[in-house]
Structures are given as structure tokens and as C-alpha cells.
Structure 1
């Protein structure tokens, strides 16, 4: 190739006629242009090139031309050589430091040299840099984003994922590539319908549960955009699992608070019914209807249990009809129908719950019933007082885990409240009933049972038993003065006798107060709503007369007492009708009993405000009004009060009928 090249002096080249002709041709080109020979010596440069490289034709000199040539070589020399060597066009970009501009050179080689077209591309380079910077920031945002970002193709396969997506789905980004997004979506989500909606609408927002390879699940909200690039679809997932859990916790807390409020309302309804003097049936009806009317519960019922046959029978239902008669119920632990909440509650005397009835094996006999009536939880609450079972309260709820924590504690109190109220009603029936069942019971050689002192030839009479609380009782009695020391010794022998206190000694007799804790016999009698009319120890034998309402199963009473005192026997059973005095009769009896001065003292004290609190008149002021000394006034008043209380508390002679000795 050397014989085809003609060396050209740089200065001479720029001044030659041929270069002038070439420059004339270059001047007709809109871009800056120059030509170099095979030795990379300048042949021609147009004005646009001179201007682009910081030189103009007005100050053209040999030195300037050489400087321009040097600038060209410094900027694009390497490109010239590569173009000549490869004999292929080359495009290069270069920053011109002198002017601070970006230039693009298109080099077109041939066997004799290279022709170069140059244009300024500063604006384009700035735009490209801006795009690069933007893309870099975008990649950084995507990589650092807390939300999971996935790109999938038309087949639903993942083609790109950010680190948050890797963490969400539990796989490395490289492992996600090529996997189908559908494999992570929970089975209950209709992926096909969602995909169709996305393609039709272009965007889709929804929430879905994702299943990770380790078996855990995450709840996400997603925003999908179709065809962000042709055939590429963007989905952004936000993990809301913790938020949803907190929301569910708050919902459950609200449900529990509402349920607690509903149960407390039921308690208030029952208390109101007690205050209003409702009978047992009315109390049970109020309890069931209040529960069934509550949004927290589906229905409620109260069932009774026959003590001997152990059969469970219907008493009251609300929110449902004929329920107890149509479902299997039993108290037998060997019967599947007896291993559910109701049967277990009856046997154990404790509240039983099933907080997810459809997954509870012991609730299997009632699974179909739960589906039919739409309840998810069930509770059985024994209605008891003093270990006496009055029935079982059943409650159902559509909520799973309804009977937990505070709600279980509060609703469990309904059994105690109803039991206490029913027991009180039974005692009231005994005290106010027109007909009562009276039993005479005897424990032979009772003192010997406790290894007590000999009571031969001695007698102790017990006049009244008063219940202080669930465990403590006070019993009042009298005995001969010489027998009282033996009673004190007997107190030390009887485990449930805590102590004895002398109240009065007169006429050779001692009136005493006996403190008792959890007495076996009296506790049973009290639990069944009965009371002790009289009792005595004579020659070491203990005899007592007790009374119950006519609805009491006295066989159960006798069985429970006999379990404690096997030697006890029933010597008589009869029905009695206590006479009831009217207010007028009571006033007449008091008028006959009180002396004139006692009546004056009582009336003056009453109308003078002596019994008010704070008192309107002092004892001295009332005494002055009566014209007597304060001591005389108090003597008359105390005696009048004693006779009044005696007339109210002491029972008149009983009228017995049906004097049968049926044991």
C-alpha cells in the first residue's frame, strides 16, 4: 500500500489546490468534515470543523492549521487508525475538554486515507446521561423497595424479581426465575379470573394469601399492571400479614368486649328478675331469652337432670325450638352422647366449652347439628349452689373461640347466679309456702361418733340455725347449767363446731351461741332450700325436725345425709301447713302483748324520728316528750322491740295434716 500513498506536508496540504477543492466540497456538507491521508496527515478541513474545534478561517495560519490537525488527532487519532486498519466505518464519541462539548465522529476509511464527519452531540449525551441516571435510580429503588416487585410474562412465569420478592416468597431471586406465580397463590384464589380481569382492564388491585415453600402463609395486597413492556406484566405485592393479624385481634377483642357487655346485661336482667320476685321458671326464661337475643350468641337452653334416672330433660329454650328433645344427650361417660360439654358438665360440676365444635372429636355426635344451626362454639354451664345441681345452661355462638379468657369467666358466673337465686327461691318457698314436707331424723349414739363425752341423762336443745355465709353458721340453743361444761367439751370433739359462747345464764339454764363451719347435715339441708325447725341431743342421740318445699326430692336429701352419717334414720315424714297471719292479726297480737307504756314508747320513738339515720330525736328528747327519765324510756322501748321481733320471727303452733310415718 505504500506506493499508493503520497506523503503530504501538513502546512502544504492545507494550502494545496487539491485540498482547496476538497474543502470546497466539504463546505457543502452540513456536518463538520475533514480528511486525512493514509499517514493520517490532514488533507482538508471545512469551516464547520474549524469552528467546532475552536478555530475560524479568518485567523488561518500554518500554525493554526497545525494546531487544528493536532486537536483532531488528539480527539480521534485512535479511531482513525482502527478505521484504516479494519477498512470498516467507525463511529466514536469523545468529550472535547477545551470547549466542554461532546462530539461524534463517523470515520469512513478507504485505501488512500479516512474521511471524517463530526457533529456536536452534547444535548443528546446529556439526555442519555439523564436517562442512565434515572434508570440507575429506578434500579436502586426497585432493589431497595420494601414491597415485593415481580415481572412476569404472558405465561405467568416470573422473569424478574427484587430482593423483597425473594424474601416474601422464600426463594432466591435466581430460583424464582422461570417459576409460575400461580404456584405461590393459595388454592382458594381464582387465579384464572384474576388474570383475565388484568388483561381486560389493564390494572388490577386485590388481596391474596401466598403459600411459601416452607409451608408458612403470607397475606398480601397486590397492584398489577399489564404490558408495562409488550408481553411483560408488573405486579407489586405489599405484605399485610401482620396488619391483618392485628385487625383480626382487634376484631376479636371487640367481639369479646361486646360479648362481655351482653353477658353482663344478662346478669343485670337476672338480678332485676330476682328483685322483682320472679319464680324459678321466670328466672330461667329471662336468662335464656337474654342470651339468645344477644348478637354474640345463637341460642340458649336450660335442661334438668333427674337425680335417679340421670335423664336430661328440657326446661327452657330460647332462639330455638324443641332442641333438647331432638339431640342425643346423656350423662354416661361411656356413651359418646355423654362425653360432650353437657354430659361432662353434669358429671364434673364444672363449666365445659368446645371452642371449635367441628374439629372437636368429643363433639362428633353434634357436628351435623352445628352445621344446620350455624354455631361454631358451645358451652355447658352447670347451675349449682352448695354442690346441689339444679340443671345445666347451654349456650352456642357462631364465633370460633367464643368462650375464652374473660368471656368464659363471666358467662360461667351465670351458673352460680342462677343456682344461688334458685336456692334462695326454694328457701323462700319453704318459709312462705302453704304446704311443706317435714322430716324427723335421728342419729343414734351421735355423740359416740365424735368420741364425745357421755351425754347420758343430759339434754341440749337447739332453737335456731342462722346462715352467715357459704361456710359459716350460728346455732342457738339452751341446756341445763350443769350440762353446759359437757357441751364445751363436746365442742372440742366435733370437728365442725368451732366454739361456743354463753349468751345468758338464768333459772338454772344457759342460753348459748354455737359457731359452726361447713356442717355436713345442715349444709345439705340448706343447699336443698330447707331449714331446721328444731333439734336436740338427748341421752347422746341427735334428733332433728327439718322442712322442705313440696317440690323437693327428699330422697336425695336423705341419701346425701346418710352418706355422711350411715346410722341416720327417718322416723317420720309428713306434710304440714303453717298458718299465716295477716298484718292486722299481727298488730292485734302485739296490742294484746305490749303494755300501754311500751306501746307509747314504741310509737313516740317511731314518729319522733328516733329510728331514722341520722336520728331526728335523741333518746333523751323522746323521754322528755313522754315525761319519763331516759332510763325508763329505754327500758320500755327495748321490751317493746323484743316482743315485736319475737312476734315476727317466732313461729306459731303448726297445724299438721297427713300425719303419716312414711320413712
Structure 2
């Protein structure tokens, strides 16, 4: 037989005190010296499910298993017990209350239900962690050099910073199977054994991952263990403590190409606030994918451009070589022979017909000038020697251009400057044109050429102490495009060229040619 409950004490709380306790917004109980409840207000019903009359006469341990020993102003945390046996986090504050005429003292305990407060604190903590996770993911997105690193870092940050059990990025193969591209966390074994397809006719193709891939929308499972959409994986997931999941589509050019799946050990983890933050994660990763695709398109265009440049320059150099060979074999040789015969003729005329010598000399001077011009043209057409260095090619060009000129020139070329054949040819042609302009127009007494390695290419600086450049010369006119031609040569390789005129006088030409255009 069960022990009968003792009858409530005859002693009652003072009327005013009882009114105050009845109005209290928190559960309040009074306990006699035997530790039995003598009073309970209506708030115990809302927090613990007990009717106040049911508690009167029961041990206080019915409500607070550890009891309410100790009197003090400061509350202490403990565990309360709901009528259905569910534990409830509580804060208990105990004070003494004299009752009756015989000096009897009861304890009055205020019992605050902390479960809602702690749930709110936990929610705030989760949201705060989610913001930090988003910030860390943004850093990973900015720093990731490629798609594989982006996926791996996103998963790592989700687990390490977000506190998720596991994270993975998956995409469908040619057979429609969804395979992992990157994983992180303690669920690798679970993820390795997942069987997912994008075929909606297959039950494994109707879960969150497949829906996110097919429809491009996020899917959330608040209770993974009971959600019908995750039923094909309940048995597999059971040992791993997966309680909730979020699956985010990752887009490329607006089309879903992969998914990011996150698993939590807490049911209901992905509320509206969390979903809004995770949506930003998906958008940011998708933005990065678009960036990688754009960069790849640029690389492809650059590669095509480089190929076209090499073919263009190769054709130009071949044509220059053919013209130079024709000039050397035909016109130059013929004119040189004429010059020689005119010289012989002049010698004979000095004795036979001296009055004709001036006319012959004039003709010979004209031929000599034509030969010199053709030889200069041959120099301009001449490509750099196949195995020559930048320094050797520039030094030979400067020596040829400035031979017999009343100026001093220097060349300072770093040892580590090396360019492919096409870029080396363009560099030499720009240098030649610049030095010829100095010889013809600058009236300089000194020219300094400096070549340095920069950003994988070569930066060339040509400085003279001449009269500078007339602004009108900077405007291209038909038949005179020296500066524009040099700039075009630099830019067609992907480089740049600029002309400066310091206040101290002279002219400085800077240009840069990349190592690989």
C-alpha cells in the first residue's frame, strides 16, 4: 500500500503575503520544517504542470529533487522536475517566513525556469558563431586560388568555426550520381557510404541533396531522424548523431552545379536566422565560382591572344628576313657594284676628261647614300640573333646606331633578364626605334639604358639629356608613327610604354614587356 499523504497544515500564510505570492510571475512554494509543500502559487502549473493543490503535502523533492536547503538572497542553479518527469533547468532562491502564533518558520522558495533563457542564450551563441563562420568563409573565398581549395576551405571553416558535425561539397557525375568533392569533420565514413542520385524516380534522388541540385534551392531538415525526405539514410546516419541538416545549392552562371551540405547534432538548428546567414554562404561561394570561371575565360582569351601574337610576330619576322635577303642579294649588291665601277670611272676621267669628274662624283655620292640607306634598312629589318641574350642584342643595336655620334651611351642590364623569342624581338625593336629617335632628334650628349627584371618580364628605361620631345611629335601623323608604333609593340604583348619629360630636361622612355604575353 502507498503511504497516505499528510493533510495540509492548519497554519495559513498571512493574507497579504499570500496575495503577493499568488501574484508572483514565477513559481513559488512554501515548505514547512518537515520539508513538505504547504503552499504553491498558480505559476507552478505553467512551468511544471502541477496544480497547486496537488503539490500541497508532498515533499519539496517532488518539484526540486535536490531540495531547497539554505537561505540567502543569491539564487543557485539546479534542476527542477516537471510533472511528466522531464528535467527543467531552474534557479532557486530561498527565504524564511515566520507564520502562526507559535514562532513556526517556513521556507519560501522562488523557482525560476531557466530553460527558455538558456535556449535563448544558446540561440544567440549559435547565431554569433554563424556570423563568425560567415566571416571566416568570406576570408576563405577571397583567398582561395581555385575551385578545389574553395570547396575544401568552406567545409573546414564550417566544421572548425561553425561547430557542425560534418560538411561536404558534392556534384553529380555523368551517370547522375552525386559524389563528394571535399569533406571535413567526423562524418567522412558516413559521407563515403552515401548513395545519392539526381534521378527523381529513385527514392535516393528525392532527398535534400538531389532537390537542391535539380531545383537550385536550399533544403533544410529540422529533425533528420524523422524527416521523410531523409528516410533512405536514417539507418546509415543513426550511429553518427546527425539531428539536422542544411543543403545549399552552389551556382555557376545561375545554374546549380554543386551543393554544400552541413550536419548538426542539434535538432532545429537551422531556424530562419540561420537560414538567412547560410543563404549568404551559398551566394558567396557561388560568386567565387563565377569569378573562377571568368578568370578561366580570361586565361583562355589570353592564351589565344598569345598564340595569335606569336604567329603574327613570326610572320612579320619571316617577311622581314625575306625582304632583307632580297635587298642584300639584289639591290645592295647591284648598287655596291655600281659604286665600285663609278669609282674606277672617276679615276680614269681624272686623266682623260677632268671636267666630267664632278658629275661622276655626284652620281657616286648618290649611289653611296642609297647603299647606306639600304644597309640601315637591313639593320632595321634584322631580327635578334637566335641565341643572343637581351643584353647582347641591345648592346649590338646601340653600338650600330651610335657609331660615329658625338655622345656617350651606357647599358646596365641585370643578369636575370631573360625573355622568350617573340618578346625579345619586340623589346629589341622598341629599343632600336627609341635610340634612332634619340640620334635623329634629341641632340643628346649622353644616353643611359637600364634593363631590369620586373613581374616576370623586362622593364627598360632609356634616358637622354637632349632637348626633349616636341608635343607635336607625340601626335601620330601619316608616315610618322614612331612613338605610336613603339607603344603598339609594347601593348600587343600585354605590356605598356610611357614617355616622360623631367623638368630638368631630357627625355625618359619607360616600357615593360611580359615574360610570356
TM-score, structure 1 length as denominator? 0.41
Equivalent residue, structure 2, for 1:240: 112
Distance 2:166 2:200 in 1: 25
Q: Structure 1 residue 309 and structure 2 residue 175: aligned?
A: yes
User: Can you give the 5+ residue segments of structure 1 that lack an aligned partner in the other structure?
Assistant: 1-134, 183-189, 435-580, 609-621, 650-663
Contact 2:27 2:112 in 1 (8 A): no
| Alpha-carbon distance, 1:392 to partner | 2.1
Q: Give deviations 1:429-476, integer Å, cap 9, x for gaps.
A: 634679xxxxxxxxxxxxxxxxxxxxxxxxxxxxxxxxxxxxxxxxxx
- Measured at CA, do residues 224 and 391 of structure 1 come closer, stay the same or move farther in structure 2, by a change above 3 Å? same
Select the structure of larger CA radius of gyration.
1
Residue 381 of structure 1 aligns to a residue in which SS? strand
Pair 1:633-2:474 in alignment = yes
Shift of 1:234: 5.8
Distance 1:585 1:367 in 2: 63
Residue 348 (structure 2) aligns with: none
How do residues 509-524 of structure 1 correspond to structure 2 at under 5 angstroms? Answer: none
**Which residue of 2 is the match for residue 502 of structure 1?**
none
Instruction: Please show how residues 176-575 of structure 1 align to structure 2 within 5 Å.
Output: 176=54, 191=62, 198=67, 206-208=78-80, 210=82, 220-222=90-92, 236-238=108-110, 240-241=112-113, 244-273=115-144, 278-306=145-173, 308-320=174-186, 321-403=188-270, 404-405=272-273, 406-424=276-294, 426-427=296-297, 430-431=300-301
* Alpha-carbon distance between aligned partners in 2 of 1:268 and 1:365, rounded to the nearest angstrom: 36
Q: Contact 1:158 / 1:176 at 8 angstroms: preserved in 2?
A: no
State the distance in 2 between where 1:280 and 1:169 align: 54
> Counterpart of 1:479?
none
1:224 Cα deviation after fit: 7.4
Q: Is the 8 A contact 1:205 1:223 kept in 2?
A: no
Given that 1:351 and 1:380 are in contact with CA atoms closer than 8 Å, whether structure 2 keeps it comes out as yes
Distance in 1, matches of 2:42 and 2:167, equals 54
Q: CA deviation at 1:420?
A: 1.8
TM, length-normalised to structure 2: 0.51
Deviation at 1:407, TM superposition (A): 2.0
Q: Rate the CA distance shift 1:259–1:233 in 2: closer, same or farther, 3 A.
A: farther
Contact 2:79 2:88 (C-alpha < 8 Å) held by counterparts: no
SS at match of 2:225: helix
Larger helix proportion, structure 1 or 2? Answer: 2
The answer to whether the 8 A contact 2:209-2:261 is kept is yes
Unaligned runs of 5+ in 2: 1-10, 305-417, 443-448, 451-462, 496-517
| Aligned CA distance change for structure 1 residues 338 and 236 (closer, same or farther; 3 Å) | farther
Map of 1:46-125 to 2, 5 A cutoff? none
**1:600 Cα deviation after fit:** 6.3
Instruction: Measure how far apart 1:336 and its partner are.
Output: 2.7
1:495-520 alpha-carbon deviations (Å, 9 max, x no partner): xxxxxxxxxxxxxxxxxxxxxxxxxx
Q: Over residues 148-191 of structure 1, what are the superposed CA-to-partner deviations in whole Å (9 max), with x where a residue is unaligned?
A: 44357899986544566678778886x55768689xxxxxxx95
Cα distance change of structure 1 residues 222 and 239 upon mapping to structure 2, 3 Å threshold? closer
| CA–CA separation in structure 2 for the residues paired with 1:291 and 1:170 | 40
Residues 77 and 89 in structure 2, CA contact (< 8 A), matched pair in contact too: no
| Pairwise CA RMSD | 4.9
Per-residue displacement from partner, 1:253-309 (whole Å, max 9, x unpaired)? Answer: 222122221232122123112xxxx34333332332233332522222222212x42
| Structure-1 residue corresponding to 2:412 | none
Report how far residue 343 of structure 1 moved: 0.7
| Aligned 8 A contact 2:31 2:108 in 1 | no
Kindly state the Cα deviation for residue 346 of structure 1 after the two structures are TM-superposed: 0.7
Query: Which residue, 646, 649, 655 being the options, matches 2:492?
Result: 646
Residues 370 and 626 of structure 1: is their aligned pair in 2 closer, same or farther, counting only changes over 3 Å? farther
